[in-house]
Amino acid sequence: MRRVRWHCPHEGSETPVDHLLDQTEATISEGVREMASRVNQDASSFQKAAANLWRTAHVLVSKETLRQLVEAEGQAVLQAMQQAIISPEWSAHDCNTEQGTTRVYAGCDGVKVPLVTDKEKKKRRQNLREKRKRRGRKCRPLPRAKAGADNAYKEFKVGYLYSEKKEHRLVGVTAGNHEAAGRMLRRMSDQVEFLQADERVALIDGAPWIRNQIEFHGLTSDIGLDFYHLQDYAQKTRRVVFGDESEEGQRWLSELMHTFKHEGYDAAWDRLTAWSKPLRGGKRIAARRLLQYVAERQEMIRYPEFQRQHWQIGSGPTEAECKTTTQRVKGRGRRWDSGHAEAMMALAALDDSGLWNKHWTTLDPQRN
């Protein structure tokens, strides 16, 4: 499929293929749109996705056409998610446990996404102008320039609701700030009747904004600090105080985490304060940082209680979901406009939520 532009001095330019991407005027079949989106999920570039689409289905589209097509589908999915049009076929009532209760976990985290900066956009545009001048003939005017990002990376937010064995999952993404993430989590919780679960457990990495949004929207008071984030922070302290290869430091870390896990916050706090008193200089500063980190998260350090309730204590599922959701947008040489990156992540979230087939069988009839 070639991308052809027509230009009339009196009526301006027109690109017929753009009409193919319009939701109300689309003539590209539903199957091709889905296939293009599916192939793109595991591709390293739109050029590779276009080549794979030709080899697997003998559907010939240019890299640029495929890019616009997939990004349009991603935007449609994102809009449907934001309006709660796409809803899972499970609810909290389906999330049964061996203990005879219903339980749903909630997680949220920020992920860094590479974006095209405004400086890079201006440089690309200048290079394009110089290339057009070297052609030695008149060229059609360039489209209006779009502003780029202020920074090379921006933090997007990923929300995740899942059952004990993760057979039921719902993933959400947003390029918005922490407040947008909070609204997203509340919308997702309403979709699965999260508040109706007997046990609602949030496992987070300790970032204050995540806890604040969960509490602000009244999702749950059972918020746990990911055990392995706490261990990583203690690990950094161990390296400063004991050095990398110290067996004494390894024993200290193992005993400290055992105390946190099996005896709880108070016992671990007493152990830390007694240990830190004789330290001096940089070692004392590192110890105080660990004490401050722990003190600020006291209400979330409830590992013995969580284990008695048969609750998980790690946010590994959320961390893993962050990796799969950003797999397409991260990688060598990849830079995105914020909206396009969000669209790519929305397609990944749709797939990981088990809603891929449902979306493409409930499309607006005008799109077919």
Residues 214 and 345 in one domain: yes
Q: Which of 77, 76, 57 is nearest to 1 (CA)?
A: 57
**Position 137 in a domain:** no
Residues 168 and 283 in one domain: no
Amino acid at 89: E
CA dihedral sign of residues 208, 210, 215, 216: positive
Contact 49, 36 (CB under 8 A): yes
Q: Which of 345, 353, 321 is nearest to 154 (CA)?
A: 345
Structure tokens at 202: 């949030």
- Give dist(CA 112, CA 329) in Å, integer: 10
Mean pLDDT on 191-205: 97
Helix (H, G, I), strand (E, B) or coil at 88: coil
Considering only 13-17, 122-126, 176-180, 266-270, which range has the smallest mean pLDDT?
13-17
DSSP code of 42? T
The residue to which tokens 């956009």 are assigned: 121
pLDDT-derived band at 31, boundaries 50, 70, 90: confident
Residues 43 and 186 in one domain: no
Q: What is the pLDDT of residue 30?
A: 82
Mean pLDDT on 305-325: 96
Contact 194, 201 (CB under 8 A): no
Number of neighbouring beta carbons within 10 Å of residue 157? 24
**Position 200 in a domain:** yes
**Percent of the residues in the chain that have a pLDDT greater than 70, as a whole number:** 91
How many domains is the chain built from?
Answer: 3
pLDDT in tens, 125-152: 888 888 888 877 777 887 888 888 889 9
Residues 161 and 198 in one domain: yes
Amino acid at 212: N
Domain span at 78: 6-83
Structure tokens at 242: 């004991």
Q: What is the pLDDT of residue 14?
A: 52
**Position 306 in a domain:** no
What CATH number is attached to the domain comprising 165?
Answer: 3.30.420
Residues 103 and 188 in one domain: yes
Mean pLDDT on 177-195: 97
CA dihedral sign of residues 160, 85, 329, 165: positive
Structure tokens at 104: 């749903």
Residues 194 and 322 in one domain: yes
Contact 291, 273 (CB under 8 A): yes
Tell me the CA distances in angstroms from 87 to 10, 82, 290, 362, one per residue in order. 47, 11, 42, 11
Residues 99 and 201 in one domain: yes
pLDDT-derived band at 20, boundaries 50, 70, 90: very low
Give phi and psi for 158, each to the nearest 5: -120, 125
Roughly how many angstroms between the first and final C-alpha of the chain, as a whole number?
Answer: 18
Mean pLDDT on 301-330: 96
**What is the pTM (predicted TM-score) of this model?**
0.86
Mean pLDDT on 46-70: 92
